[in-house]
Amino acid sequence: MIHKDCYGTILLVWLICAPLAYLIMRFIPWPFISYPLCTIPMFFMGFVLFFFRVPSRVRVGADNQVTSVADGKIVVIDKVVENEYIKGECLQVSVYMDFFNVHVNYWPIDGNVTYYKYHPGKYMLAFLPKASELNEHTSVAVRSTYGDVFFKQIAGTFARRIVCHANPGADVVKSDECGIIKFGSRIDMYLPLDAVIKVKLGDTVRGSETVIAELNK
């Protein structure tokens, strides 16, 4: 299944790559040159379909367990001061997504959306510490029975569009899709100080299927 918000991007890539492949085959008469060159645009046509796939995922963990918003690698686990929504100390867990990760995002816990804001910004490399504040990103807070979970979808150098389905006041269900970030990017999750972190730096995680933390009941 291909993500519905990515049809336009896929069409654009195909409209560029298909004529390019045709021109290569049409005007380069030497097969030992034209065939290898033609594989480049054809590769990109296939890659965008692979990249924007929506995998089948299952809900895991107890209701008080926070699951990953995205696929990727854990690059930050730290106690920080978050000034936008929490306005105090909390635990930050960040997931970095590369080109080969699924970029669909999932709600990390059952609850009610209490906050949403879009922030225009720069397009620094997503794994840099300042990217969380300076890059284009969205901020979303979900209030659950066990406390608030706040997260940011952060654009990277090549990620120029963030799709977020957060609507303040709406109830959301853990593991349902909450949006997508196109191309390389990052998710920052902010959790209560008493949350028990279940991952470590360098771990590979899967959206909706890896438990990130457990909140106190």
Tens-place pLDDT, residues 71-85: 999 999 999 999 999
- Of the candidates 118, 89, 106, 94, which has an alpha carbon nearest to the alpha carbon of residue 142? 106
- Which residue numbers are catalytic? 185
- Of the candidates 141, 148, 138, 146, which has an alpha carbon nearest to the alpha carbon of residue 187? 138
* Contact of 122 with 135, CB cutoff 8 Å: yes
User: Does residue 129 carry a pLDDT above 80?
Assistant: no
How confident is the model over 149-163, as pLDDT tens digits?
999 998 865 555 788
* Contact of 92 with 117, CB cutoff 8 Å: no
pLDDT band at 132 (very low <50, low <70, confident <90, very high): low
CA angle 139–155–158, rounded 5-degree value: 170
Burial 93-124 (b: 16+ CB within 10 A, else e): bbbbbeeebbbbbbbbbbbebeebeebeeeeb
The pTM of the full predicted model, rounded to 2 decimals, is 0.80
Domains of the chain: 4-51 (no CATH), 65-214 (2.70.70)
Mean local confidence (pLDDT), 9-28: 89
Share of the chain residues as helix, strand and coil, in percent rounded to the nearest 5: 25, 40, 40
* Contact of 199 with 205, CB cutoff 8 Å: yes
Q: What's the chain's average pLDDT?
A: 88
Residue type, 207: G
